[in-house]
Structure 1
Amino acid sequence: MSKHLPPKDVPEDIRNVPLPDALSERYLAYALSTITSRSLPDARDGLKPVQRRVLFAMRLLKLDPASGYKKCARVVGDVIGKYHPHGDQSVYDALVRLAQDFAQRYPLVDGQGNFGNIDGDNAAAMRYTEARLTEISNVLLANLDDDTVDFRPNYDGENDEPVVLPSGLPNLLANGATGIAVGMATSIPPHNLPELCDALLHLIKHKNASIEKLVEYVQGPDFPTGGILVEPLSARIEAYKTGRGSFRHRAVWQQEELPRGMWQIVVTEVPYHVQKSRLVERIAELITDRKAPLLDDVRDESTEDVRLVLIPKNKTVDPAVLMESLFRTTDLETRFPLNLNVLDGGKLPKVMNLREALQAYLDHRHDVLERKSRYRQGKIEHRLEVLDGYLIAYLNLDELIEIIRREDEPKPAMIKRFKLSDVQAEAILNMRLRSLRKLEEMELRGEHKELSKELAGLKQLLASDELRWQAIAGEIQELKKQFGPKSALGKRRTRIGDAPVISEEAFEVLVEREPITVICSAKGWIRAIKGHVADDGTASFKEGDKGRFWLHAETTDKLLLFGTNGRAYTINCDKLPRGRGHGEPVRLMIDLGNDQDIVTLMKYQGERKFMVASSDGRGFVCPEIEMLAATRTGKQILNVQAPAEACVMTQVEGDTVAVIGDNRKLLLFPLSELPEMTKGRGITLQKYKDGGLADARTFTLKQGLSWIDSSGRTKTETDIKDYRGERAQAGRIVFRGFNKNNRFS
């Protein structure tokens, strides 16, 4: 009898599901919950659920700016108990961030007590701190009771919470957001509110406004810590076009003169999200490790304002060069990423560009205005109905009193006699005797006239799309007036500037010149050891790896790396990991993909020319100086199309090109037939039926064709006239004795 028989009584609701399907279904549900309910902000109000719940709970506690403060523990308790059944620390952390003026461009919470500082110190415990809402929060929460947004039941169904706030200001871009979800993230820097208002007003008038035009209004991020934005305009426009990019953000510094011709540098503003204490520690480490030869000391003299004092080695040091060196090696300059990934309509994640983000806010405000107007219309119509009943009562007061005194059920009799509605009859029966005076009747008629006029205006507003957009534009103008560029809160803090251009030669004094040996393994692990060391075969590598490149250089030199993706990269020798360990992957220093490899690595000299070629047999000559790259992304030299890849980079010497294919066919043709270019796909060097290019080099025809055999010996063949031809021919089978791997070395 089998030991694995199924049980006799199997419940009908149990299904056999493959484990991978069950896991993927549940993990997808978890991922969607994280994306929509925790990590990504809503495009309409720019808030995550926990932030929205904190503000809503504070509103119910009547913590408006005019009232007193309440303990943060009380707020956190309400949020957890009613709306957000998660850990108290996560809720308190969200509340604290909303109150930090160095983290929020426009703080939504007014905190009293220790809410942390720019040094990275944590806030005091929630039992010690107090909080209330700010004026900005009031604008976000305004008209919440006027049916402007949908409400949903909370987690236990006992209370209701708003799905989104009315958001009287564009909080998504004004305060920004950061978050990491499952498989996606968001990073939105804060912006200047008056600039956003100008862009919104322009977008209302011109629905298809270009990003370039909008960037004239929204010049770039406006960080609460100030600083200088040194990102070029073209890069800013491109970032706002795609919703992805980054912004270079620098500290603000000035030179202070001291007695006897000495001076010092004072940093007064640091980049956003940089902990000042950690920044000071980093600068001190550079001084200790002698990696900041122009700097003698650093002091933190900050009080409420930032004041970092940098002491130079001597008064002959160039302040600009000193600061540029620190910008390169410390967080005095950072890159803040832009990833405008938000919940579109509160449902689906989407990476928006600047216009889409602004339009999403305008569409939300249009919906809020419509709902507010219809709600107000309903209230007015109800009130007018009651007022009409009151006026009927004044005109027939004696008869109404008689009916009420005579009838056991006066309400039906009143409705039948005076053709009243149920609402009017109920209102008349609930009237107080003091309301029967003559003056009250006159006031009711005046109220009826005013409400009728307002109702006509609302109906006109709801019937006209143009009038609604005019009303929204008026609200935005009022917002700009309230938080304008001349106000303390609205004034731009981050200046727009350009990084000074300083020649590379000026930085050579920052690097101590000494000889090194650069070692790079076959798998791309690179390191430098002190001195010029011969390759004696004793160097150690990781298991399964081996040596490939062994170069003698100096710390002031640059390395030129050419990848199979056709890009050239530049690496400063002083940035190489030192010591006799295994080093670091070169891919951490440059943007070389894991599916790409190194074609060659050499010391940069600047005056040579190289022939570059791809595996599909195309190539050209490129000057070495054109291969110098300024960023870790490198410079595209040889354009390759998959499955082809770059496979040759060899120095140009002589007058003839030698090309050999995987089919062992060799072709020689004049170097003059190969063009000199700075970038491109190149021209055909050799044609193939099967396979592609194996290797190529240049040489002097009269001296013969040389190659290095498997034993490391150099061999030369002079009888090569039969292999000469024109570029793009197929060539002939190579002579006997040539390397079996079809390579010249």
Structure 2
Amino acid sequence: MGKRLIPPEPAEIHEVQLREALEERYLAYALSTIMHRALPDARDGLKPVHRRILYGMRLLRLDPGTPFKKSAKIVGDVMGSFHPHGDQAIYDAMVRLAQDFSSRYPLVDGQGNFGNIDGDSAAAYRYTEARMTDVARLLIEGIDEDAVELKPNYDGQSKEPAVMPGGFPNLLANGAQGIAVGMATSIPPHNAAELCDAALHLIEKPDAKSKALLRFVKGPDFPTGGIIIDSKESIAEAYTTGRGSFRTRAKWSVEEGARGAWNIVVTEIPWLVQKSRLIEKIAELLNDKKLPLVGDIRDESAEDIRVVIEPKTRNVDAGLVMESLFKLTELESKIPLNLNVLVKGRIPRVLGLAECLREWLDHLREVLLRRSQHRKGQIEHRLEVLGGYLIAYLNIDEVIRIIRTEDEPKPVLMKAFSLTELQAESILNMRLRSLRKLEEFEIKKEDKALRAELKGINEILGSEAVQWSKVGEQVRKVREMFGPKTPLGKRRTVFADAPEHDLAALEESLVEREPVTVVISDKGWVRTLKGQVADLSNLTFKQDDKLGQAFFAETTSKLMLLATNGRFYTLDVAKLPGGRGHGEPIRLFIDMEGDAAIVSVFVHKGGRKFLIASLEGQGFVVGEDDCVSATRKGKQIISVDMPNEARCLTLVEEGTDQVAVIGTNHKMVIFPLSDVPEMSKGRGVRLQKYTSASLSDVAVFNAKAGLTWRDSADRERSMTWKELAEWRGNRADAGRQATGLPTSNKFNKPIE
């Protein structure tokens, strides 16, 4: 018989609420992402991975000017000792620190293929080599002098810095991008010399606000240059609140060719824009005929950027060509500012410009105090040792005798010459060859120099004014290294106002001009047919639908639509669906209420006047340009409240002087056009009086020419001024029966 298996004793089970467990775990994940991955420290401007890369390079002695080492060695050491995450993540971070088109002041000096502005990735880390730059050396300077706190690494086997000494304004100079949990950061790069000037002003006037510092810091300074076209007010607002954005455009110029030909040459593009992707996008737009002003584009870049844009014709304005490209491509880019950083390495906060620089300056002072205290300890230790050496020198024979004869010379020496334990230990550890160097003069000279240095250190530690003076000296040295006359420090991004261009001309330039026929069904479905199609008998419509109206237009035209709610809507013909199928509901292109219906649709020509009237018989004359709407919600022109609604619209042509109004009761009244006021919006005045009827239609005509209309068979009919005598009256009259006019009570005069 087989043995019976006895199940193991169940482990102790704890019941936990799912919600509490999820909250606890998600909070831990969120805090980890915020603190150790996404947000930079306000003091040194570094995220943990960058800090660990620099510290790893420091331990490998990869200072500027030393031989390069393989990136694989750096990545391996950083991953093994400090950053137990993916090697590719570490290498990618190191690559970005080396790219002069990503970092304004690169922290890593790379040798080999570190990628390019086209978006090509760097070579594998076994092929590339790296070392630190002077900027990185400034950031790390003093790390061996107890400048910052060293904390245990992930496995407790060694230590790593919690923050770098940060002798360079890295947070704002190089910027940072990061997405955490529930928060993000986006800091564009700035000019280091300008930041140093602002910091020096802040040392002099600690209460200075961000707005006052804009005298020094004009705005971002991107490694790829470009032109910022924001107003000074919006830039000031962004730096005061710590949130905003910067509209950055490519830098371009016109290059003259033979026989009056010319090309546009782009030499700088916005930051973080991949050049190859940008050119692909422009080429796609060219193929889709969305850039009718552009003939061709080609990339002639070598070391520097040179993108050549050929216009379609030499007669077009270069500014308009570029405006069309700025509107549709990344040649204009909006770069966000979100100064969300870790204050004191612990608290995520959105800071203004002044607060950011204040955090950096406070950190420099803290580092100065720590380094001074460390050096003070070293000097006091050395002075104690020198005191022992001097006693030994003056009593060398007795010291040698004690060492030779005593089993335990240390306590004997201490007692004989009143030495401290350190002094006795130092004398005993001296090499014999040092005896010849033990000259009283040399010892006293070193002692004097150290005591002078100690006095200076005590002055620093004892006076806040001296501390800020020393910090100021440090900032001035950085400014000299990266001043505006140095190749790295020279400002690359400039400022300008966006040129004013006719928006209508710009909109028109983005669409190729072609004739089309606009077809609108009875139920409000719209489509366009290529060319001017007169015969629409072959068109098909949805069930229970039919042709409503059709008219000729161009792809660059705008349509004006009046709805029963009294609103005018504006539509671009170029955005309407093509002729295949039944089209699409016109409501998809505008925000028209469900209970509103179309009254009239026509092509916008500009400069004309219309007579608009409501169901209750009120109306006024309005200018066409006053009716153009800039939004999908339309523009309220005639004020109507349900059940009243906008009923009709008719063109007021040059030379017309009379108005004919007909009601649903088949009564008509004619009165002078001068009795109707011209307004931009409102209810208007009463045109005809009704008891149990409402307004049906209006017509505007010239008395000498008479009134014309179309009957049900689409034949033109007319009446002379003499024949219209019995209907002539005053505005707001009830009118008389319209004998001889259509029973439909419509004049059927569409707007063309």
Shorter-chain-normalised TM-score: which range? 0.7 to 0.9
Shift of 1:599: 10
Report the residue type matching 1:279 in the other structure.
L
Q: Is the 8 A contact 1:518 1:553 kept in 2?
A: no
Q: What CA distance in whole angstroms lies between the structure 2 residues aligned with 1:109 and 1:584?
A: 57
- 2: CA distance between counterparts of 1:163 and 1:352? 21
Cα 1:586–1:239, aligned 2, differ >3 Å: closer, same or farther?
Answer: farther
Q: CA deviation at 1:460?
A: 1.0
Check whether the contact 1:558–1:573 (CA below 8 A) recurs between aligned residues. Answer: yes
Q: What's the CA shift for 1:206?
A: 1.2
- The AA in structure 2 aligned to 1:703 is Q
Matched residue, 1:416: 415
Match of 2:512 in 1: 512
1:75-131 Cα deviation digits (max 9, x unpaired) = 111111111111111111111111111111111111111111111111111111111
**Alignment-mate amino acid for residue 182 of structure 1:** V
Distance 1:600 1:409 in 2: 112
Superposed, which structure 2 residues align to 1:253-652 within 5 Å?
Answer: 253-437=252-436, 440-507=439-506, 508-513=508-513, 538=542, 555-556=555-556, 574=574, 650-652=636-638
Contact 1:516 1:555 in 2 (8 A): no
Residue 127 (structure 2) pairs with residue 107 (structure 1): no
Residues 315-366 of structure 1, C-alpha deviations (whole Å, 9 max, x = no match): 2121111111111111111111111111111112111111111111111111
Q: What's the counterpart of residue 242 of structure 2?
A: 243
Aligned to 2:170: 171
Match for 2:207: what amino acid? N
Q: Aligned residue for 2:72?
A: 73
Letter of the 1:652 counterpart: I
Asked whether the 8 Å contact 1:527–1:579 carries over to 2, the reply is no
1:703 maps to which residue?
688
Offset of 1:397 from its aligned partner?
2.4
Distance 1:476 1:538, change over 3 A: farther
For 1:91 and 1:677, how far apart are their aligned partners in 2? 64
Alpha-carbon contact 1:95-1:109 (below 8 Å) kept: yes
**8 Å Cα contact 2:528/2:576 also seen in 1:** no
Partner of 2:742: none
Q: Give, in whole Å, the separation in 1 of the partners of 2:398 and 2:595.
A: 103
Contact 1:707 1:714 in 2 (8 A): no
Alpha carbons 1:45, 1:172 under 8 Å: kept: yes
CA distance in 1, matches of 2:30, 2:10: 32
* Partner Cα separation in structure 2 for residue 98 and residue 252 of structure 1: 25
| 1:179 CA drift (Å) | 1.2
Q: What is residue 20 of structure 1 aligned with on the other side?
A: 19
Deviation at 1:400, TM superposition (A): 2.1
Deviation at 1:587, TM superposition (A): 14
The number of residues matched between the two structures is: 626
Contact 2:393 2:438 in 1 (8 A): no
Aligned AA for 1:500?
P
Provide Cα deviations, 1:417-446, integer angstroms capped at 9, x if missing partner: 222111111111112233333763211211
Give the Cα separation in 1 of the matches to 2:83 and 2:238: 35
Change (3 A) 1:410 1:227: same
Q: Which runs of 5+ in 2 are unaligned?
A: 1-6, 545-549, 563-567, 613-621, 645-678, 698-752
Cα distance, 1:388–1:18 mapped onto 2, change above 3 Å: same
Answer yes or no: is the 8 Å Cα contact 2:414–2:421 preserved in 1.
Answer: yes
What residue number does 2:226 align with? 227
Confirm or deny: 8 A CA contact 1:107 1:134 kept in the other structure: yes
SS in 2 for 1:411: helix
Partner amino acid, structure 2, of 1:277: S
Matched letter for residue 637 of structure 2: Q
- In the alignment, the residues of structure 2 paired with residue 115 and residue 536 of structure 1 have an alpha-carbon distance, to the nearest angstrom, of 60
User: Shift of the alpha carbon at 1:571?
Assistant: 7.9
Equivalent-residue separation in structure 1 for 2:229 and 2:265 (angstroms) = 19
Report how far residue 539 of structure 1 moved: 10
* C-alpha distance 286-28 of structure 1, shift in aligned 2 (>3 A): same
| Conservation of the 8 A alpha-carbon contact between 1:186 and 1:342 | yes
Map of 1:158 onto structure 2: 157
Q: How far apart, CA to CA, are the structure 2 residues paired with 1:178 and 1:322?
A: 32
Structure of greater Rg: 2
- Deviation (angstroms), 1:699: 5.2
Whichever residue aligns with residue 203 of structure 1, its letter is L
* Change beyond 3 A, Cα 1:500–1:360: same
Question: Within 5 Å, which residues of 2 pair with 1:50-69?
Answer: 50-69=49-68
2:31 is aligned with 1:45: no
Taking the aligned partners of 1:585 and 1:57, their CA distance within structure 2 comes to: 64
Distance 1:483 1:185 in 2: 30
Counterpart residue identity of residue 74, structure 2:
V
User: Residue 126 of structure 1 aligns with which residue?
Assistant: 125
Instruction: Say what the alpha-carbon RMSD is for the aligned residues.
Output: 4.3
Distance in 2 between the 1:37 and 1:585 partners?
52
Distance change in 2, residues 1:466/1:75 (3 Å):
same
Find the aligned partners of 1:74 and 1:177 in 2 and give their Cα distance. 26
Gaps (5+ residues) in structure 1?
1-6, 520-525, 541-549, 563-567, 612-621, 636-646, 662-675, 679-696, 716-745
Amino acid at match of 1:43: A
CA 1:426 to 1:229, structure 2 compared with 1: closer, same or farther past 3 Å? same
Distance 2:64 2:193 in 1: 22
